[in-house]
Amino acid sequence: MAEIPIRSFAVSVVALRKRLSAYEVLLLRRTRTLEGEWCQIAGAIEAGETAWQAAIRELAEETALVCKDLYSADICEQFYEADRDAVSILPVFVAYVDESAEVIINHEHSEFCWVSFNDAIEMVPFAGQRHVLQHVEREFASRSPNHHLRIEVDKANPDR
């Protein structure tokens, strides 16, 4: 019996900022993989890094943003990769950022936008992304997130 490998090598980050009374989601237009598609922040976990450390690093590398608060989203983005014949599972993180912080995108993206959850759900290309965004809206924007999901970045990383 053949098995399909399960890979967990990357993270997904949903960046949120509060504008007036509603949260907005940051989407980035990709230039490489998935060229031209609007996506949330994502990237590989490097050697010696935890998933949450990769989330913070990817947020900074792809957008120059620093998160005020980081949470495990308590959900994973998952998809099948035909070229690898594997299922990829990415832990999802929610990064709250300052509403006035400037976004500076890196070479992996051609543009960015802050949009409502409804707009973000319409813009992303995959059902799995829409499912993640709906979950994040329910659990992190429409209500206060569960404190057990908060990652104490400053305590876990004294150099910050």
pLDDT in tens, 103-126: 999 999 999 999 999 999 999 999
94 beta partners: 14, 71
Tokens 């992304």 label which residue? 129
Q: What is the pTM of this model?
A: 0.92
Tokens 């924007």 label which residue? 141
Centre a 10 Å sphere on the Cβ of residue 85 and count the other Cβ atoms it contains. 10
Q: How confident is the model at residue 158 (pLDDT cuts 50, 70, 90)?
A: very low
CATH architecture, domain 6-156: Alpha-Beta Complex (3.90)
In the structure encoding, which two tokens stand for residue 144, read together?
A: 């206060």
